[in-house]
Each structure stands twice: as C-alpha cells, then as structure tokens.
A and B are shown apart, each in its own frame.
Chain A
Amino acid sequence: MTTDLDHGQAWTFGDDIDTDQITPSRFIVSSDPEELAEHAFEDLRPAFAAEVSEGDYVVAGHNFGSGSSREHAPLSLIGAGVSGIVAQSFARIFFRNALNLGLPVMICPAADQIDDGDDVSIDLGDGLVHNHTTDETYDAEPLPEFLQSLVDEGGLKAYTKTKLGTE
C-alpha cells in the first residue's frame, strides 16, 4: 500500500461546497470521468478545469461535498487527475463515495491554514498533511480500521468481487 502521495498544488475552497458546485447538474447526463472533468467547478471557479494538473489537491473547509449522492462529483475530480481531497470535514455520502471510488479523502482540522497554490502532499497511512511551501505538517484523522481495510483491498468493487468470488 502506497500511503505517502506525491506533491501537488493546492486548490482551496471554502465551507459547504455542494455537489452541484463541484459538478454543475446540467452536465450529469454523462458519467464519463474525463467528460465530467471538463466541467469541474465550472460555475464556482471557471479556471479550474483548464489549469488543474495531474496530482493536484483540492483543499476545503467544512462540509465538503454536501447535497446530492451523485458520484459525478467525485468522478469529475478523479477525471481531473486530483490526487486527493483535504477538508476540515466532509458530507457523509460524498466521503463514502470518494472512498468507494478510491479517491483519497482526509479530514484535517488545519486545512484552512493551506493557501491556494501551496505545494502539498498527504500521508494516508500516518494521517498527515505536509505543506511544503510553509514547511508545516498538520495532523489529519486516520481512517477507521474498517474503512482502511476496505481501501487496502482496492475499494468497494474489489472488496465485493472478493466477497462474491468473481475476481
């Protein structure tokens, strides 16, 4: 299990970013991650889709991913090449969906200390967020044991295939 992810640029957002702001609902007739990625944060931050680089991070305040259950929101960020999301807290269904899809998510109370454009990386195993721009390290909540084992098995699909014997 690789737990220490590569550096990337932080794209910072505030509190209560809902799924419609992550992926505007008019585009969710598609479920293709690449196509959805073209519209990620389109209304909220129009430059995101064009300027995000593979390996960048989304950094947010409280209640990231509130609203809909649609996986189009985490899928659009996967399509955009985002390495992971660091937030002060997540909405429940978004948090679950991201894990199920293999998109790393970390609850980090100090996420608001990260500035837009900072060079960051995350250590999933130890529950740490590194800010290489300021040379600071912040504590994050490690995943509960049950969820860590699910992630270790490769996400919900892989876990289910093992259970069903359909690998």
Chain B
Amino acid sequence: MTGKTIAEKILSEKADTDVRAGEYVEADIDVAMAHDITGPLAFETFDDVTGDDAELFAPERTVFTIDHHAPADGVKAANNHNAVREFAAEHGAHQFDVGDGICHAVLVEEGFVHPGDLVVGADSHSTTYGGIGAFGTGVGSTDLGTALATGDLWFRIPETKRFEVHGDLPDGVYAKDLILKFIGDVGFDGCTYQAAEYGGGAIESLPIHERLVLSNMAIEMGGKTGFVEPDERTASYLEHQAGIECDLDGPTSPDDDAVYESIHTYQATDLAPQVSKPANPENAVDVGAVEGTPIDQLFVGTCTNGRYEDIKLVADVVEGEELAPNVRMVVVPASGSVYRRMLETGVFETLVDAGAIIQNAGCGPCAGYHQGVLGDGDVCLATANRNFPGREGSMDSSVYLASPATVGVSALYGEITDPRRGDPQRYDDVVLTEEVPT
C-alpha cells in the first residue's frame, strides 16, 4: 500500500478508517461555522432534522459570525443578524457580531482551528484553514445544518494536486502572486473535487498570514481544500496570535510515497507579480501585461488579503504620499483585532493621510452588497479573491486581482503598476518571528 496525502490522512483519522482518494466516508467534524447569509438557512435545516430538545453536536466548537452585510444594509439583513444572535444564544454557540470581522479571519485569530482539524464552514472560502494545516472546506447550509446536529458529514476523499515552489521569492512577489499563477496554470476548475497541497522551500518560508492566502484561494481553482504543512512557525503563530498550543504530530504531513494526481513545480526566481484580469481568477498575467490600465477604485481587504500585515504593507507603500487624484481607495480590515492594531500602530492614520477610506471590519464590498459597490464602467484593483462578472457591483464594471503591494503602488500612480516600481516592501516585521505586538 502506498503512502497518503494530507487529505487522505486527516479524513482517515476523522472517519476512523483507512481510506484513499475516491472513497466515500462519514467523518467527524471538529469545527462548524456559518455566517449571516448562510446561517439562517442552516438553522432551518437544524430545526427540521432534530425536532424538540435539539442540541448542537459541540457548542464549544460551533461558531457563527455576522460579517457579510455588517452593519446591516437593510431590514432583511438586520433580521438575518437577529436570527444568528438568537440561535447562537439559544444553543450556547460562539457568536461574533458586527465589527468583529470575517469568519475565516476570526476563526484562526481566536484559536478555534488547530492543525489536523476537520472544519466545515457554510462559506466557500473555508479552505482558508488549510493555511494552518486543517482540512477546511466549504459546504452549503443544508450540509452545515445537519452537521450541527450530528457532528459528521459525508465526504468523498479527494485526489490531491501538489504545488511546489523552490528557491526564494523575488522582490514584489508574494503568496497572492503564487496562487494567482497556480490558478492561471491549472484553470478555474483545474482542482475541482480535489485537494491542493502547497510545499517547497519558498512556501515553507512564508509567514502564516501568507500561507492563509494560498489556502483561501484553493477554491478559485475548484479545490475542496488547500494545505500548507504546519510547522514550528505555525505553532509559534497560534501561540502568539490565538493563545493556543497545537500538536504538530497529527496527520498533517504527507508521506514521501503519497500518490498525487499531479505535481506542479516552480522556481521562485522565475516568477513575477501577477494580476488576474476580469472576469475570472484564472486570467492571471505578469503585471507587465496590464501595466497602465487606468483604475477608479482600489479595494484592500477580504478574507484573502485583509490581514494586518497586508494593510500595513499598503500603508508602508503610500506613507507620506497622496493617492492619485483619479482613484478612491477602500480599506476594510478582516477583523476587529486588525482594526485595533491599525489604530495602535499608526497604520490607520497613515492611510487616512494618504486619502484612503477605512471601513469597519467585515467583508465590505467584496461580493457587491454594500460599502463600495462599483458602477457602470468602473475599474477596481482589489486584494480580493474573485473578479466574476458584476462581483463588486455593476455587470459593466471590472475587477482586477493583485497582491497588496501591487494595489498599494498602483494607488499612487492611478493605474495598474508593477510593485517593483515602488520601493520594494516585504512583511519585514513578521517574517522572522510571527510575534504579534501587544
């Protein structure tokens, strides 16, 4: 018998049976999550399947957030928020409210997810948890509602695509550029029904917030999940950021003889900053191919690149400068703790001085609900994960995806600009230690 991938190992453990890609199992859930859009439907399912005296499978590992329409943009959204609050209170689950932040940021920051966990979230970007070595995957509300009751769900064990990046990343190239490159190479559906494993020296050297970017966007190539093997850096991050100790001896390393669907190998030094053109993340090109494209709006935020380090990078780039007169920049921290840290460290003031608009923590305009929706003909350069037609507003608007560095430099020039044209910035204060200033 050959070895196993991380996906095969985690699902084998959670199903308590030895399984390989292609098999179906019912596996035990460690953490379940829903938010203000997907929660109310999940609650209906839970009530329907449980009947009277219903209890959550594990209230202490059930988390609900209010992040998508936060603060409420209308009565229906406000009523959805109330449904989340009432259900959480009735059943004793953890509940994060308006301003606390995006589910995927909060669950990691607050220590709900450990390496090796099986995490289901009623949101497609639940793949994010793979950045700390958990099997995170997105499900619908019906799945989530039944999981809240039973503590398990059915899974098909996915085949795995492995992406290896060797060498040191050049200036101006970040995890966002890597994942856009991967998606561009395998296609928008290139990883459908599969897991992604990311490895190699360049990825091992990434700080945790960068690894979360890789896992977050696994879904943009159809992936069921996306892992970075957890290591001492993961443990240090979780200790400092989330205040938890984690066990690295779990089922989170692939065997040397694991069988992969395919292995994609890159040399880091060959890579350039990437931009995904409208209207699909797979339209990734070297930034030079779109340089000079005029921009109307810049959006820094989302569960992909709305972490403190991302926003600080943008602040470092624009510090002491003024944004180009033709652009507006919307900055939305991914969590309340990011927001507070921006205040404490002066990042908030730097951005405001440069002319940026800063909103409360949450999803912001990412899916075109509110707080920065695009009009006809508008062009946005975003640190987000999706640029589908009409994603951030009008069907006649356009969204380009890029790293925070590219977005920051482009804000100064008012057009898509190679980040290497600015003063090359790195996440200097976090790369080595993962320590979080208090």
Contact = CB atoms under 8 A, between A and B. Distances in A.
Interface in B48-69: 48-51, 69
A92 B122 CA distance: 14
A166 B74 CA distance: 36
Contacts of B24: 144, 146-147
Contact of A166 (B41, B50, B76, B222): B50
Contacts of B368: 20, 24-26
A100 B367 contact: no
A166 B80 CA distance: 27
A66 B77 contact: no
B76 A29 contact: yes
B236 interface: no
Interface in A42-84: 43-44, 62-63, 66-72, 74
A43 B395 contact: yes
Interface stretch (B138-146, B250-258, B317-325, B352-360): B138-146
B45 interface: yes
Contacts of B140: 69-71, 74, 93, 96-97, 100
Contact of B189 (A63, A161, A164): A63
Nearest to B142: A100
B98 to A, nearest CB: 15
Contacts of B74: 29
Contacts of B156: 144
A61 to B, nearest CB: 10
Contacts of B226: none
A63 B49 contact: no
B12 to A, nearest CB: 17
A136 B389 CA distance: 34
A91 to B, nearest CB: 6
Interface in B135-164: 138-143, 146, 149-150, 154, 156
Most chain A CB inside 10 Å of its own CB: which residue of B37, B40, B126, B224:
B37
A156 B76 contact: no
A150 interface: yes
Contacts of B121: 69
Nearest to B120: A69
A29 B69 contact: yes
A97 B367 contact: no
Interface in B344-377: 367-369
Contact of B146 (A21, A28, A157): A157
Nearest to B75: A29
A66 B189 contact: yes
Most buried by A among B150, B156, B188: B188
B146 A156 contact: yes
A101 interface: yes
B41 A63 contact: no
B41 A31 contact: yes
Given A163-B150, A166-B50, A157 B142 contact: yes
Contacts of B388: 18, 20-21, 67
A89 to B, nearest CB: 6
A89 B192 contact: yes
Contacts of B150: 160, 163-164
A28 B222 contact: no
A30 B381 CA distance: 30
Contacts of B192: 63, 89, 91-92
A161 B224 CA distance: 26
A118 interface: no
Contacts of A71: 38, 41, 140-142
A21 B156 CA distance: 27
B301 interface: no
B234 interface: no
A24 B55 CA distance: 34
A38 interface: no
A16 interface: yes
Contacts of B141: 31, 70-71
Contacts of A66: 188-189, 222
B142 A101 contact: yes
A69 B425 CA distance: 35
A91 B189 contact: yes
B142 A150 contact: no
Nearest to A21: B389
A144 B138 CA distance: 21
A163 B149 CA distance: 11
Contacts of A16: 188-189, 280
Given A29-B69, A68-B124, 9 more contacts: A16-B189, A25-B367, A26-B368, A69-B121, A69-B126, A71-B140, A100-B143, A156-B143, A166-B49
22 contacts: A20-B388, A21-B390, A25-B369, A29-B74, A29-B76, A43-B390, A63-B188, A68-B367, A71-B140, A74-B140, A89-B192, A92-B192, A92-B222, A92-B224, A93-B124, A93-B139, A146-B24, A150-B154, A157-B142, A161-B49, A164-B49, A164-B150
Which 7 A-B residue pairs are closest in the complex by CB-CB distance? A29-B76, A97-B140, A63-B189, A146-B24, A69-B138, A100-B142, A160-B146
Interface of B: 24, 37-38, 40-41, 44-45, 48-51, 69, 74, 76-77, 80, 121-124, 126, 138-143, 146, 149-150, 154, 156, 188-189, 192-193, 222, 224, 280, 367-369, 386, 388-391, 395
